[in-house]
Amino acid sequence: MPTLHREDHYIGRTGWLRAAVLGANDGIVSTASLVVGVASARAHHADILLAGIAGLVAGSMSMAAGEYVSVSSQADTERADIERERQHLAADDPGEREELAAIYRSRGLDPSLAREVATQLMAHDALGAHSRDELGISDTLSA
Ligand SMILES: [Zn+2]
């Protein structure tokens, strides 16, 4: 029995990686700027340390809340778009099939194959096909 070809990819992890890189960079730059600013005012060592720690804590909380709000707004937008697509599919199935076929034609399939692919994918999971190929929303990259 043949075994499935298996590959490991990391594209699904880009969300938290991007947030981690942005957060770390922001934490370093803002904390260093704060420490340099306080130090240049000839503060005592303890005050500089306090400013650095306070800046680090404030920056961490701000970045965490900011990332949560950012991801939540993306997830809300994706949910709303998927719901809009569900309504389009209920209202105009042939039009949506033609829309999907046009997407596949633009990707290089000939017209009859594009129509057949659209028909079979919509028979299998119409909303999934439109979410992925029309809206660009996939399990791998969604918020
Ligand atoms: Zn559609």
Residue 78 CA to ligand 1 center (angstroms) comes to: 14
What pLDDT is attached to residue 141? Answer: 72
What pLDDT is attached to residue 1? Answer: 59
pLDDT, tens digit only, all 143 positions of the chain: 566 788 888 877 787 888 888 888 988 999 999 999 999 998 999 999 999 999 999 998 998 898 899 989 999 999 999 999 999 999 999 999 999 999 999 999 999 999 999 999 999 999 999 999 999 998 777 77
Residue 88 CA to ligand 1 center (angstroms) comes to: 7
Burial class, 30, CB count within 10 angstroms (exposed 0-12 / middle 13-18 / buried 19+): middle
Residue 99 CA to ligand 1 center (angstroms) comes to: 6
What pLDDT is attached to residue 2? Answer: 64
What pLDDT is attached to residue 143? Answer: 73
Distance, CA of 119 to CA of 96 (rounded, Å): 10
- Please give the C-alpha separations between residue 73 and each of 8, 68, 94, in angstroms, as whole numbers: 29, 9, 32
What pLDDT is attached to residue 46? Answer: 95
Residue 90 CA to ligand 1 center (angstroms) comes to: 10
Q: Which residues fall inside 5 Å of ion ligand 1, going by CB?
A: 96, 99, 130, 134
Residue 95 CA to ligand 1 center (angstroms) comes to: 8
What pLDDT is attached to residue 44? Answer: 93
Residue 10 CA to ligand 1 center (angstroms) comes to: 28
Residue 77 CA to ligand 1 center (angstroms) comes to: 16
Q: Residue 92: left if φ>0, alpha if ψ -120 to 50, beta else—which one? A: beta
Tokens representing residue 47 in the block: 């005050």
Residue 96 CA to ligand 1 center (angstroms) comes to: 5
What pLDDT is attached to residue 98? Answer: 97
**Are the C-beta atoms of residues 118 and 100 closer than 8 Å to each other?**
yes
